[in-house]
Amino acid sequence: MLRILVLGAAAGGGFPQWNCNCGACRRARAGDSDAVSSHQASVAVSRDGEHWFVLNAAPDLRQQINENPALHPKGGLRGSPIAGVVVTNGDVDAVAGLLNLREGTPFSVYAHERVLRVLRTNSIFNVLDRDLVPRRELPLDRAVPLMLADGTPSGMTIETFAVPGKVALYLEDPAKKGFGSEPGDTVGVHIREEDGGASFFFISSCAHMTPEIAERVKGASLVFFDGTLWADDEMIKAGMGSKTGARMGHMSMSGEAGTIAAFRDLDVARKVFVHINNSNPALLGDSPERRELEAAGWEVGVAGMEITVPDTGTARASAMGGHASATGGHARASGGRAEARISIAVRQTRR
């Protein structure tokens, strides 16, 4: 079984964003229950409920820890249940939170070499003493064990895979093709429990769906996916910026090439959007866009959401055996089966 805590679901800038006076950000500041404030995207996962791995270190990490008792120090005078941080790209909203984790407690930083290089070449990250905070390289397309701070196995493995995307904004080189982006600058991750078989995907940035990604996530129990924009040109139309989602390395939720359409036949039991920009109308609980995504079986992530993924190995075996007649070969059977076995709880954190 895996326990997952959503620590935040907003894209870079958060919701509301410090300098944004749009209608949605104003509603969030006013405490509107259909415009719930959100930290920047991050989730934490644990197999034993005691040791946690944080996926992406948002600038809000200090507050995210404060709001989640599971991540509070336990026992001795100094220490943390956080055994490691996995960083899936070099964006500010994925790395800045690492700076909150200085102060001499051991944990590991896991990332692709392209992102480890970003950390190495920005000397401010030297506040994380390498002797206490080892950097562990994640190779593409190979499952490696996630280790606890003392070097013992956590019982979970992580496999990273390249997804279409872009190098971090502050590293863009206009003279180079794709702004100098290379495979590994943006990765998706698949975290698996070694014995029970529970697993989930976290893909917090993705420029477009590929047959390879579709094949990977097909039939999954749970996928967190990039929900930056509803429509590719929404920031331009709203007067908030000059870039399309495609230029920023994000696919949109809506449209023929959008995420909702791309997942339609992938039989994923639970689909949760994270990294949602403050310009995205689907952030608002009373918007037609929210209704549309929910009708398509998607959820919008929110801080305080807790998801438990049971041992899908067992679930799959039983559905293919004894319950075969009950599911009757229905195309949605495997999705429905996993869905029934995933429990979800949301604590509404009002800030």
Q: Which listed residue (5, 6, 10, 20) binds Zn ion by CB under 5 A?
A: 20
Please check whether residue 95 is in contact with residue 87, taking contact to mean a CB–CB distance below 8 angstroms. Answer: yes
Token match 């994270």: residue? 274
Number of residues that bind Mn ion (CB under 5 A): 3
Please check whether residue 209 is in contact with residue 262, taking contact to mean a CB–CB distance below 8 angstroms. Answer: yes
Q: Which listed residue (278, 280, 312, 334) binds Zn ion by CB under 5 A?
A: 278
Contact between 60 and Mn ion (CB under 5 A)? no
What 3-state class would DSSP assign to 243? coil
Partner whose binding site includes residue 61, from Zn ion, ligand MLT, Mn ion, none (CB under 5 to 8 Å by kind):
none
Q: Applying CB under 6 A, which residues contact ligand MLT?
A: 11-12, 91-93, 169, 205, 248-249
Site for Mn ion in 67-106 (CB under 5 A): 91, 93
Picking from 336, 337, 331, 332, the residue whose alpha carbon sits closest to that of residue 317 is: 337
Picking from 116, 106, 221, the residue whose alpha carbon sits closest to that of residue 160 is: 116
Considering just the CA atoms, what is the radius of gyration of the chain in Å? 19
Q: How far is the CB of 258 from ligand MLT (least distance, A)?
A: 17
Select from 60-68, 80-88, 144-152, 273-281 the region that touches Zn ion (CB under 5 A).
Answer: 273-281
Number of Cβ atoms within 10 Å of the Cβ of 134: 17
Q: How far is the CB of 198 from Mn ion (least distance, A)?
A: 27
Number of Cβ atoms within 10 Å of the Cβ of 289: 18
**Nearest residue (CB) to Mn ion, 24 versus 95:** 95
Bond prior to 106 in cis (omega within 30° of 0): no
Q: How far is the CB of 30 from ligand MLT (least distance, A)?
A: 25
Binding residues for Mn ion, rule: CB under 5 A, are 12, 91, 93
Binding residues for Zn ion, rule: CB under 5 A, are 20, 22, 25, 278
